Amino acid sequence: MGVFCGSVPLNPSVFLAPIPIRALTNQPPLHKITLVIATGNPGKFNEMATLLTGVDALLVPLDRAGPIPPMPPEGGESFQENAFRKAEAVARASGHLALADDSGLEVDALGGQPGVLSARFGGPQATDAERNVRLLELLRGIPPDRRTARFRCVVAVADPRGAVQLAEGVCEGRIAFESRGLRGFGYDPVFEVPSLGKTFAELDPEVKNRLSHRAQAMAKARAILEGILVTRGHPDQQ
């Protein structure tokens, strides 16, 4: 028997409109956006994913984002430039939103060094421990009030059309007189938070993740992503 609506016969199949399989299986709805995290470092990916908990985005690590040409080397003159270039290149290549960061340590007594060269300070082969020894050597004899330093992090969020928004976080501190603490990485054992009298490497990771330059920049990046989510109408529309 045909189905009638008023005088118009309808194909019964219109009443059998497909129910999304996700609804039948109680799966959560699709994410509104896909966000490629432009890092090859799984530790950093996990840290960023934690800092973005609750954002309605499918987070994809760089190695799962499809064929992406090699990342531009971090040869820029500023954290902003490096983060911008990385995020823009990955967004254009992947066709998705991309998030990239650059960060490092600025020591006032060294005119802001190592800065953008933080990862290569003391030579590309140097270990974190060797970099810290070198830093302490360079600051030998410098009194506490002239050992001021800060970690800076810039996060860039880029869309595939090339629009890029930047977020920055800064954590002020000073360089200790010796390495202390076993946690963290990089310059954590020599970076002291004066109000706590502890280095980053002595702090509970949860405390560091509340104070850190990266946490602050990521809080602003989260606000940028939430703004983008508000303006996106359809699931996964980029």
**Hey, which residues are catalytic here?**
102
Least Cβ distance, residue 44 to ligand IMP (angstroms): 6
The full 3-state SS of 114-135, as one line of letters, equals EHHHHHHCCCCCCCHHHHHHHH
Give the nearer residue to ligand IMP in terms of CB position, either 165 or 212.
Answer: 212
Least Cβ distance, residue 222 to ligand IMP (angstroms): 18
User: How many contiguous H segments (helices) and E segments (strands) does the chain have?
Assistant: 6, 9
Give the Cα separation of 45 and 177 in Å (integer): 32
Give the nearer residue to ligand IMP in terms of CB position, either 119 or 219.
Answer: 119
Give the nearer residue to ligand IMP in terms of CB position, either 32 or 84.
Answer: 84
Phi, psi of 188 (to 5 degrees): -50, -40
Residues that bind ligand IMP (CB under 6 A): 101-105, 118-119, 151, 184-188, 200, 212
- Grouping H, G, I as helix, E, B as strand and the rest as coil, residue 186 is coil
Instruction: Tokens 């990916």: give the residue.
Output: 45
What's the alpha-carbon Rg for the chain, to the nearest Å?
Answer: 24
Which residue number is nearest to ligand IMP in terms of Cβ? 186
DSSP code of residue 22: H
Give the nearer residue to ligand IMP in terms of CB position, either 40 or 227.
Answer: 40
Cis peptide bond prior to 114, omega within 30° of 0: yes
Least Cβ distance, residue 154 to ligand IMP (angstroms): 9
Least Cβ distance, residue 101 to ligand IMP (angstroms): 6
Give the nearer residue to ligand IMP in terms of CB position, either 212 or 216.
Answer: 212
Which two tokens mark 214?
């990266």
Check if the beta carbon of residue 209 is closer than 8 Å to that of residue 44: no
Strands (E), 112-234: 148-158, 164-175, 191-193, 198-199
Least Cβ distance, residue 130 to ligand IMP (angstroms): 11
